[in-house]
Amino acid sequence: MLRTLLFLSLTALASAAEISFSRQIAPILIDQCVECHRSGKAKGGYRLDIIEQMLKAGDSKTSPLVASKPDESELYRLIATHEEDDRMPKKADALPEKEMKLIHEWIASGAKIDVADKKAALRSIVPEQEKAQAPEKYPHPLPVTALALNPTGTTLACSGYFETTLWDAATGKLQARIGGMPERVLALAWISKTQLAVAGGVPGRSGEVWLVNPMKPTERKRLVSARDCLLAMVASPDGKLLACGGADNQVRCFELPSGKLKWQIEPHADWIMGMAFSPDSQHLATASRDRTAKRIDASKGEIMATFTGHTCAVLSVAFSPDSKETISGDVEGEIRRWDSSGDAKKDGTLKPGGRTEMLVLGFLDAETPLVAMGSGAVVSMDAKGRKTKDQITRYEDRVNALLLQRYGKTVRIITVCHDGKVRIHEIGKAQPVLQFLASPGW
Ligand code: HEC
């Protein structure tokens, strides 16, 4: 009896050490390589979106995989080479050491493929990951990093840990939890009754965008699976387009409601931190860590203007209500105004709050820019007078997202903060009309 048990546990150990192609290797290739090596885009004449294809040499006629010989395998040679120009993934950082080692060990131990059907697509063989679950009760309040309001203004969607939570906007009561979302949700856009877009990921590892039906959350579709985190996402006011950007420096634009990719460009040399659609839905603005902000034609994906007036990373952008002007805010506390050709406006620098990040920008009305800052303040500005007009709120912690809601003459400002709180303010009232912690069970 004892002997059988010992035998069993030893075999369990042995098989645990064996590297699984479908669970461990395929996800790396999907995230890092398939984009350039697939049907319709086989760089170097090489595809690895299908197992059978992955085993065949490309233009070099050198075997990509030689069982037990990593150093003779072109695939391994190209990910491990120190020649940056040759290295895969092309024009990107080298794979993390852990992943490179895993591929090395997998080839060294025979490059076994644990799937019988060699015509299978890589994407189809990865087992539905045992994704970490959202906690039933949050052990402490989680910073809220994204916010959206449904089209009728009755429900708020907030970021959670591997989930998106829905809250009654009148009472602050939890309505629903949508699980299976990225670990960090960094942007939300509520497009229609049946479409909520969720973007996020894990920095340096993965980026995702999902379209979910909030009424029936099992109805969902993944629009993007990128190799780095998505940081910004916006829907056009006419509801026809959804654009996202992030740490892979790419901007992708999708048609709605289909979710079909319309265009994809790399307008920046560094992370895309903030985005906005013009009120007329014609243009898109991007803010980047590369110190520039851009105006892009939303129908074609062509860059129309580049604003180079910032001297540090740009975090946020907004269009004026007539869609003509743009304002952009940076990490060191400056907001600049520029026109549709990318030229700075005269007297176009606003400094509302000292050296703190300008995290979210908006317009209260045609003349009044609004900003939420790293210091926790939300202020409106006198655009011409270059000074703060009104301090609307001051919180203890950074304001990560801000929304404006208008009912007739009443304007509400909804914010979410690093302290985990959602607060709804009405302009003119000192105290919030509603505040709650968006951490279920807390
Ligand atoms: C951004 C596009 C891009 C990505 C991402 C990319 N590659 Fe490549 N790959 C290329 C290009 C282009 C070539 C052609 C050779 C060259 O230009 O260096 C190539 C060639 C290759 C070849 C040689 C094919 C042949 O026989 O000539 C292999 C093998 C390869 N890539 C593997 C990978 C692997 C593995 C990954 C992921 C870790 C990857 N590539 C990611 C663009 C890419």
Give the domain ranges of the chain: 18-125, 147-437
Q: Which CATH architecture does the domain made up of 147-437 adopt?
A: 7 Propeller (2.130)
Please report where in the chains the tokens 């110190």 appear, as a residue. Answer: 291
How far apart CA 226 and CA 32 sit, in angstroms, is 8
Output the pTM of the full model: 0.71
What the block records as the tokens of 286 is 């991007």
Q: Cβ distance 158 to 164 under 8 Å?
A: yes
Write the residue with the smallest CA distance to atom 1 of ligand 1.
Answer: 90
Q: What is the pLDDT of residue 408?
A: 85
pLDDT tens digits for range 307-332: 999 999 999 999 999 999 999 999 99
What's residue 11's pLDDT?
41
The count of other CB atoms within 10 Å of the CB of residue 371 is 29
Check pocket membership of 37 for ligand 1, CB cut-off 6 A: yes
Task: Render the burial of 308-346: b for 16+ CB within 10 Å, e for the rest.
Answer: ebbeebbbbbbbbbebebbbbbbbebbbbbbbeebeeee
User: What distance in angstroms lies between residue 87's CA and the mean position of ligand 1's atoms?
Assistant: 8
* pLDDT score at 392: 83
Determine the pLDDT at residue 21. 95
46 CB within 6 A, ligand 1: yes
Q: What is the pLDDT along the chain (442 residues), one digit of tens a residue?
A: 444 444 444 444 444 468 999 989 998 998 789 889 998 889 999 999 999 999 999 999 999 999 999 999 999 999 999 999 999 999 877 888 889 999 999 999 999 999 999 999 998 888 765 456 788 999 999 999 999 999 999 999 999 999 999 999 999 999 999 998 999 999 999 999 999 999 999 888 788 999 999 999 988 888 988 878 999 999 999 999 999 999 999 999 999 999 999 999 999 999 999 999 999 999 999 999 999 999 999 999 999 999 999 999 999 999 999 999 999 999 999 999 999 999 998 878 888 878 899 999 999 988 899 999 999 999 998 877 667 778 888 887 899 999 999 888 899 999 999 999 999 999 888 889 999 999 999 8
Question: Whose C-alpha lies nearest to ligand 1, atom 36?
Answer: 33
User: What is the per-residue pLDDT for 13?
Assistant: 43
Q: How far is ligand 1, taken at its centre, from the CA of residue 89, in Å?
A: 6
Q: Whose CA is nearest to atom 21 of ligand 1?
A: 44
Cβ contact 339:320 at 8 Å: no
Decide if 228 contacts 204 (C-beta within 8 A).
yes
Q: Which pLDDT does position 16 carry in this prediction?
A: 47
Q: How far is CA 280 from CA 237, 277, 320, in A?
A: 7, 8, 10
Does the beta carbon of 53 sit less than 6 angstroms from any atom of ligand 1? no
Q: How far is the CA of 222 from the centre of ligand 1 (A)?
A: 25
Strand order across the 368-373 sheet? 358-365, 368-373, 377-382, 387-394
pLDDT at 4: 42
Atom of ligand 1 nearest to the CA of 32: 37
Cβ burial, residue 270 (10 Å; 0-12/13-18/19+): middle
pLDDT value for 7: 44
Q: Residue 74 — φ and ψ, nearest 5°?
A: -60, -35
Write the CB contacts of 42 (distance below 8 Å, at least 6 apart in sequence). 58
Q: What is the pLDDT of residue 9?
A: 42
pLDDT of residue 133: 76
Which pLDDT tens digit goes with each residue over 377-422?
Answer: 999 988 776 677 788 888 878 999 999 998 888 999 999 999 999 9
